[in-house]
Chains A and B, each alone.
Chain A
Amino acid sequence: MTAGKAGAAISVRGLTKDYGRGRGVFGADLSVASGEVLGFLGPNGAGKTVTMRNLMGFVRPQSGTVEVLGHDCFRDRPWVQARLGYLPGENACMQEMSARSFLDLMAGMRGMRDRSRMLELADAFGLDLGARIGGMSKGNRQKVAIVAAFMARPDVLLLDEPTSGLDPLMQERFLDLVAEERARGAAVLLSSHIFEEIGRACDRVAFIRAGRVVMTCTMDEARSMRGRGYTVEFSSARERSRWEHAHGAEPAEGDARGVELSDVRDVNALIRELSLYDVASVTSREQTLEELFLHLYEGAEPSWQS
């Protein structure tokens, strides 16, 4: 599924916010349709949080447009925020308050009278509403932030590292919640470092590096882009070092006789090359999404963009 630019619930076009020394975002484009989850991937400092801040109207873009449901995120902040749920990357709930008073304050500021969804979410995540936030573990504080973001049933959700600190069971529940919101028609922008989470929760993924969105594709396309990984077992350590020598100074991954090769696209070339060596065995596996994205993290240009 690819969201059309027109009518997108979240629309970022040519966004530039320069913080100097290469930090910020530069000409970023993103769009998320209603009922769609877009994964937002990139290394630390790539510009994910800056993009979120622009969408929240916390900062004003230097150029470009940032809109939610057709409204400018900085100029029409109250209108936009009435329809938006936000989970910040840095969990900074007011620590001196209990979870209940904090959530009541947030609900009160939204003019929400019905607390049923809040209680339902707190129950689903096993959150003790009476506990003081300052005394909670990181995971429990994250649950408070999740309830705060989702309790108003917003049309748009901006989730910055949402499962940080959650145990695997709670991560599962969170992914179920995202799926539920998507089915309800919410547009979700989900920034995460957990590749499996992106793979499971998202319809599309945008990859940002050094402030530039370098690739946007559907999850199916991302999966089809994955190369295969091969483990080559040479007959002896000497054969292995001969192979390694032929491939430059960088030591190859693998054990004494084996070599790990990731992101192999041309299998015939590999077979032709290995025929020159005494090989004991070759096993293959599909490259994981993590390997694909780490490949991009390290600076390789994408093979294509959509």
Chain B
Amino acid sequence: MILPLFRHELRSCLLPTAIIAAVVILYACVIIGMYDPALGESLALMRDAMPELFAAFGMADQGTTLLEFVVNYLHGFLLVVFPLVLAAVLANRLVVRHVERGSIAYLLAQPVGRARLIASQAGVLIFCLVLLATVLTVFELAAAYIMFPGELVASDLVVINVATFCLWVFLSGVCWAGACALPNVPAARWVGVAVCALFVLVQMLSGVGDELAWLADVTPLSLLDPLGVASGEFGALAGATALGVSGAALFVLGAAVFTRRDLSV
């Protein structure tokens, strides 16, 4: 960690983090507010009218509890896509943009070593994701407490959000590895996010019908089973751990390539 650089980069990354946080908090609060039996019936009607569309966005089942309702409408799609956008923006801002503009030459010209430099930049990304997860959890709990006191078990939501954070680490690891390892700037900017978008699309398709259900086996996103994690199922916990560990491995892989590669800046 290089503290002056970490502070500088964190300042520049706070705005996109705040924007994404505001959007997901808004969605979370609205969805928690929608946990109303009357509205639930109308949503059920809509879902019955367009079952494939709802399934594609991970909203096949409304659930019977507030936790199931939140997981169904939030964690299946929105809490995958918005953090992915943030991870792509931050990986671009912290690595690709410096290489593209040539400002990486000034950072590399300081006596800090590439491994420390890239670890510091990765630290900013992870810190922003932790910030997003923390703020989201706090607002979800507050909204649930205010609107439906006693309906949500806080520890269950926290565990689910930790597992979701593992998924974010994996997605940002893919973006990070691409940003650090690929020598071509457009490729470094887009390959990681394109691979993640492909995972999301495959998962959406897998929910559309039984004949495409097998696609769920080929996307790492299916390793996240929020309700399974909340109920302490071993498979769900192992899946979340696998996402977190492979995400961390991708960060290490990206950093390792970055320390060895030629930087013609």
Q: Which residues of A contact B (CB under 8 A)?
A: 53, 56-60, 77-82, 84, 86, 88, 90, 92-97, 101, 104-106, 108-111, 148
Contact = CB atoms under 8 A, between A and B. Distances in A.
B263 interface: yes
A69 B108 CA distance: 19
Contacts, number: 79
B111 A56 contact: no
Given A109-B4, A109-B5, A88 B262 contact: no
B106 interface: yes
B113 A60 contact: no
B104 to A, nearest CB: 8
Given A58-B263, A59-B264, A110 B108 contact: no
Contacts of A109: 2, 4-5, 107, 110-112
Contacts of A108: 3-5
In the complex, the 5 A-B pairs of residues with the closest C-beta atoms, listed nearest first: A108-B4, A92-B102, A82-B111, A109-B110, A59-B262
Given A96-B12, A105-B5, A110 B110 contact: yes
A126 B214 CA distance: 68
Nearest to A92: B102
A79 B110 CA distance: 10
B42 interface: no
A99 to B, nearest CB: 13
Contact of B114 (A59, A77, A80, A105): A77
Contacts of A105: 4-5, 8
Q: Count chain A CB atoms within 10 A of each CB in B8, B110, B112 and give the residue with the most.
A: B110
Interface of B: 2-5, 8, 12, 101-103, 105-114, 260, 262-265
9 contacts: A56-B108, A58-B108, A58-B263, A78-B113, A82-B111, A92-B102, A93-B106, A94-B101, A105-B8
B111 A79 contact: yes
Contacts of B264: 53, 58-59
B265 A58 contact: yes
A270 to B, nearest CB: 48
B8 A81 contact: no
Contacts of A90: 102, 105, 265
A159 B110 CA distance: 15
Contacts of B4: 104-105, 108-109
Contacts of A94: 101, 103, 106
Contacts of B103: 92-94
B130 to A, nearest CB: 24
A101 B5 CA distance: 11
B106 A88 contact: yes
Contacts of A84: 109
A88 B102 contact: yes
A82 B260 CA distance: 19
Most B CB contacts (10 A, CB to CB) among A60, A77, A82, A101 go to A77
Contacts of B112: 78, 81, 109
B106 A92 contact: yes
A56 B265 CA distance: 10
Contact of A81 (B2, B110, B260): B110
Contacts of B102: 88, 90, 92
Nearest to A96: B12
A93 B12 CA distance: 15
B2, B109, B262 pick with most chain A CB within 10 angstroms: B109
A118 B72 CA distance: 57
Contacts of A96: 12
A97 to B, nearest CB: 8
A78 B111 contact: yes
A155 to B, nearest CB: 12
Nearest to A17: B262
A50 B232 CA distance: 57
Contacts of B105: 56, 58, 86, 88, 90, 92
Given A58-B263, A58-B265, A92 B111 contact: no
Contacts of A106: 106, 110
A81 B111 contact: yes
A262 to B, nearest CB: 37
Contact of A92 (B101, B113, B262): B101
A56 B111 CA distance: 11
A42 to B, nearest CB: 18
Contacts of A81: 108-112
Contacts of A53: 263-265
Nearest to B262: A59
A94 B106 CA distance: 9
Contacts of B260: 60
Given A92-B101, A108-B3, 12 more contacts: A58-B263, A77-B108, A81-B108, A88-B102, A88-B105, A88-B106, A92-B105, A94-B106, A101-B8, A106-B110, A108-B4, A109-B107
A78 B259 CA distance: 12
A53 B262 CA distance: 9
A11 B105 CA distance: 21
A77 B262 CA distance: 13
Interface core residue of A60, A78, A82, A104 (most chain B CB under 10 Å): A78
